């Protein structure tokens, strides 16, 4: 059964990794998909064509989620192209890892801007539409690192923890208008980026996970489908850990 037929979703940072997995799963479930990318036009267009083959409408937009004016234009363009927006998935993010004593102010500010400010920008830009139609689902991508912290990732952990607090506040503000806001906190997810790591490092991470394996983009995508669909119509302000039991 397709759970998202008739819905249109915006997914930021979806040209690869977790974002592209979410886009594919949404298309398989009948959703029309508008997704953003930063630089790889070819990769974005290939994904768009792949999504269209599922029988849905799909378009890609080169847009910077960390820039407020860019997000306003994006939302406006998506409304023109699709006529509606039902789901917002704030997935765009970067890392600039280093120990605090070596971390530059630029690296701290950039991670906060791309990971956290982008969530404010996109939510603010789509809020008016959701309020007018009195419905909407916002899904924000945090991390287990935002809950437990991690040495060498003070900037990343701060940005991901901020997303949780932001989302809880939005859930309280917009709940009376049937607008829900939830968070997904992925653990160790195996993507094309982690494939470049040494196998010994991957095995060490896997051994510390109760389920003894890394997650896949599909694991995160399925959680997004749940939050985007009517299956979660009475759930808001919550953080779902998709981590194989890492924080158990």
Q: Where is 37: in which H helix or E strand?
A: strand 32-37
- How large is the average pLDDT for residues 230-245? 98
- Region 126-148: mean pLDDT is 97
Instruction: Using DSSP, state whether 140 is helix, strand or coil.
Output: strand
Give buried/exposed letters for 214-247 (b at 16+ CB in 10 A, else e): bbebebbbebbbbbbbeebeeebbbbbbbbbebe
The domain made up of 8-189+217-242 has a fold known as Rossmann fold (3.40.50)
pLDDT-derived band at 194, boundaries 50, 70, 90: confident
Where is pLDDT greater, at 139 or 16? 139
Span 58-113, pLDDT tens digits: 999 999 999 999 999 999 999 999 999 999 999 999 999 999 999 999 999 999 99
Catalytic positions, written as ranges: 156
> pLDDT tens-digit profile of 27-59?
999 999 999 999 889 999 999 999 999 999 999
The pLDDT score that the predictor gives to residue 217 is 95
CA gyration radius for the chain?
Answer: 17
134: left (phi over 0), alpha (psi -120 to 50) or beta: left
């Amino acid at each position: 059964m397709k759970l998202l037929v008739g819905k249109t979703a915006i997914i930021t940072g979806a040209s690869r990794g977790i974002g592209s997995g979410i886009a594919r799963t949404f298309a398989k479930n009948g959703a029309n998909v508008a997704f953003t990318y930063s630089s790889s036009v070819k990769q974005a267009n290939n994904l768009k064509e792949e999504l269209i083959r599922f029988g849905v409408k799909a378009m890609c937009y080169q847009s910077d989620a960390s820039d407020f004016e860019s997000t306003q234009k994006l939302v406006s363009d998506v409304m023109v192209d699709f006529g509606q927006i039902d789901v917002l998935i704030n997935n765009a993010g970067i890392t600039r890892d280093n120990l605090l004593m070596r971390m530059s102010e630029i690296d701290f500010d950039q991670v906060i801007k791309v990971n956290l400010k982008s969530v404010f920008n996109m939510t603010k830009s789509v809020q008016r539409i959701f309020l007018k139609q009195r419905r909407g689902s916002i899904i924000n991508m945090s991390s287990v690192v935002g809950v437990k912290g991690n040495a060498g990732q003070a900037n990343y952990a701060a940005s991901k923890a901020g997303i949780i607090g932001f989302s809880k506040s939005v859930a309280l503000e917009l709940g009376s208008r049937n607008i829900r806001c939830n968070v997904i906190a992925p653990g160790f997810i195996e993507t094309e980026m982690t494939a470049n790591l040494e196998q010994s490092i991957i095995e060490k991470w896997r051994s510390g996970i109760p389920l003894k394996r890394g997650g896949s983009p599909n694991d995160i995508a399925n959680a997004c489908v749940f939050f985007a669909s009517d299956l979660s119509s009475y759930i808001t302000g919550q953080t779902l850990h998709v981590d194989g039991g890492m924080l158990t």
